[in-house]
Amino acid sequence: MSETADFMELREEDIVKHYPAALDLLDGFDHAPRIAKPAGNAAPERSPGIGGRRAFRSTTPGLVTRRTRRAEGVHILEAIAEMEGGTGLVSPVQAAVQTALHRAISIALAISETFAESTGLADLKRLNLEGALPSDKSRDFSALLTAEALITLHVFGNAVAFLLASHATEEQVEIGDLEEVLTENGQLALHGALWELEADISAFATTEPRLVATVLAFAEALMSKAAARAGTATDLDAFTSASWKVEADGLVIRGFAPSLKAKSTTLTMTFKKPHEVVGNHIAKYQALRLSKMLMAYDFDRRLNPFAELGGFIFTFMGDGAPGTGKTTLIQMMAGLINDYCQVAGYTFRYQNLSTDNIDSYQGKSGQNARSFINTIIDPQVIGFGTIDDIDMLAGKRGDRQSSAGQLEITSVLMDAFAGANTVVRGNCTFGMFSNYPENVDDALRQRAGARFLVDGPQTREDYIDIFALLLGKNHDIPLGDHEVFAAQQIQKAVAASFESHNRPKEEGLVAVWEKTEDRIGKLDTIAKIGTYLKGIQEADPRFTGRAIKNITDAIKVRSMDFELPDEWMENPDLFIFKDYDTKLRMITELRREITVEMVIQEINRYADSEFRYADKSDEEAIKKMVREYGLTEEAKRRYLALRDGPQ
């Protein structure tokens, strides 16, 4: 897998020259906190002229005691070396943390220096030192210094997280919010960040795994804080519009996006073969095609031809009653992508966002969701992210039962799936699954570009197949007059499933369909189809422009209604390893023409799902109100009985 060439190389000599300054920062410097409150156990301030650092420290195992933060300075190297549980000697893990911090500071200083030179900030600094800064330049100078500080903080945190990723364990540490985030200039910003880091190491790093977890949690929090501040800052274009690569580390810096190591997720799930997914024909077919579509992603161009042609599914919603096969569908799709990536030598990353990610700590749930998104969208990997039971995970706005953590997750997912900064490269896809999609926030649900109705086995043949599959082979019961899995032949089953949408199914949509056909006749022109769409919107105001976009995207997917040959997946040289333009041409040659029948089926398929969700949602709301009215009446009756009862 080759790297993209859309970056500038950050030369090694430009990094190494900052090593002495970085080492000085880690070795020790004075810093009086300006925003955060100093630790309560800090020693009294020393008199001027008296050395602040200890002349020696014990190197005898067992004699290292819990250290306290000293007011005389910040000493990161010493804090790591003297962490509780240490042996008095620096271990390989401690050394790795120290080295990563040293390297990360040097990279941050090199990037900020490049930024200063390209924006004229370096010249303004020189004028300021000479006392010759023009008064009309003061505002520009201040804005550029703030930009430099934010860049320095984010690159530092980004590099630390990247360089330490291979040392991460299952250990997790909650460090809380960062307070000493200073933005007056890059140097002061580093002082504040390292002051925070020493405090966190002192408080939480009781073991080596916790040391790494603490530093990684700090790096993630620092990146998040800097990126949030950058949203309202100015003069950042020179940084956000360019990309740099640190060749020695494989680190690519692209604005305020985290740079994650391209490592695969270890999958422990049981994979399912397509024939083991009984029923669910359209959902299975779309999952099969989407798995192959992902493999068309071009790592040089960082784009998928299917995404350019408009036939790529970035987000989809899988809904159905409990026990209809949603988990089996996930296992099938993850297994297919995993196998394809192993053949191609690509990195595959799978992750599920579950209710475990809801945190009572303010802001942490949103951070967990953002980390999940960033892990999957990493352009260096093929990604598949699932959100199971999304109705329980993401809160519905306006619902008093939704916690703050659930609403944070909803906000992050809405921004990630169809926000102002969403970029669909075609290297990943997200599946939202729910037994009760009517309980999902309307705006979030409509961000699902495709609908996979997971309705499970439907026909007699389906039930025979699933029973035979689950029963296994440890029996002598005759099969009878039946060919196992013949009904699961995908092309035949899918054709029948699509044809079933030639007319709508939900009662409310059927009424709109019949009214429209009675008035204007058969829907065979764009004008007539548009009239039908307007009728749907009049029946359900939630049927907005986003719904139209999702339908047109689904139609474009149908125009890609062809199977990429299995041999293309088995032999990567036939397709996967071709250059981008060749893959685009090969796909274009297979593309089908859009037909009226195809359009009608996709409109009905999508609108049926929305009417189904809306009807269930309204019914649930009515039941809830009836129950609340009943409780109110019962409470009133009891209150009156108490008030008017015997005194």
The pLDDT value recorded for residue 41 is 42
* 590/13 Cα distance (integer angstroms): 50
SS3 per-residue string spanning 458-506? CCHHHHHHHHHHHHCCCCCCCCCCCCCCHHHCHHHHHHHHHHCCCCCCC
607 membership: H or E segment, kind and range: helix 596-644
Burial per residue of 403-432, b for 16 or more beta-carbon CB atoms within 10 angstroms, e otherwise: eebbbbbbbbbbbbbbeeeeebbbbbbbbb
* 494/492 Cα distance (integer angstroms): 6
* 469/464 Cα distance (integer angstroms): 8
Task: Say if CB 159 and CB 121 are below 8 A apart.
Answer: no
Strands 348-353, 382-387: pairing is parallel
| Amino acid symbol at 246 | V
The pLDDT value recorded for residue 58 is 34
- Tokens 């897998």, residue located: 1
* 10/12 Cα distance (integer angstroms): 6
The pLDDT value recorded for residue 87 is 63
570 membership: H or E segment, kind and range: helix 566-570
* 408/444 Cα distance (integer angstroms): 12
The pLDDT value recorded for residue 222 is 92
CB atoms inside a 10 Å sphere around CB 129: 9
- The CA-atom distances, in angstroms, between 211 and each of 62, 189, 623 are 19, 22, 51
Task: Say if CB 410 and CB 395 are below 8 A apart.
Answer: yes
| Amino acid symbol at 235 | D
Strands 428-434, 450-453: pairing is unpaired
* 455/453 Cα distance (integer angstroms): 6
pTM over 0.75: no
Low-confidence ranges of the chain (pLDDT < 70): 1-7, 38-72, 84-88, 260-271, 274-280, 323-324, 360, 456, 483-497, 561, 613-621, 646-647
The pLDDT value recorded for residue 64 is 36
| Amino acid symbol at 483 | E
533-548 confidence digits (pLDDT tens): 999 999 888 788 878 8
* 593/558 Cα distance (integer angstroms): 9
Calculate the CA dihedral of residues 215, 216, 219, 221 and round it to 10 degrees. Answer: -110
Spatial neighbors of 188 by CB under 8 A, at least 6 apart, are 149, 182
* 200/83 Cα distance (integer angstroms): 11
- The strands making up 382-387's β-sheet, listed across from edge to edge, are 348-353, 382-387, 428-434, 315-319, 450-453
Spatial neighbors of 223 by CB under 8 A, at least 6 apart, are 154, 157, 158, 161, 256, 258
The pLDDT value recorded for residue 421 is 74
DSSP conformation class of 29:
B
The pLDDT value recorded for residue 1 is 40
Nearest to 495 by CA among 290, 312, 285, 278: 285
Crossing angle for the helix pair 186-204 and 92-119, nearest 10 degrees? 160
Nearest to 429 by CA among 351, 365, 356, 331: 351
The dihedral built from the CA positions of residue 265, 269, 274 and 280, taken in this order, carries a sign that is negative
Q: Where are the beta strands (DSSP E) in 1-100?
A: 8-9
Burial per residue of 227-255, b for 16 or more beta-carbon CB atoms within 10 angstroms, e otherwise: bebbeeeebbebbeebebbbeebebbbbb
Q: Where in the chain is the domain with CATH 3.40.50.300?
A: 274-620
* 58/73 Cα distance (integer angstroms): 20
Structure tokens at 568: 């293309």
- Tokens 């992050």, residue located: 412
- The CA-atom distances, in angstroms, between 282 and each of 235, 287, 294, 488, 507 are 49, 8, 18, 11, 22
Instruction: Please give the CATH number for the structural domain made up of 274-620.
Output: 3.40.50.300
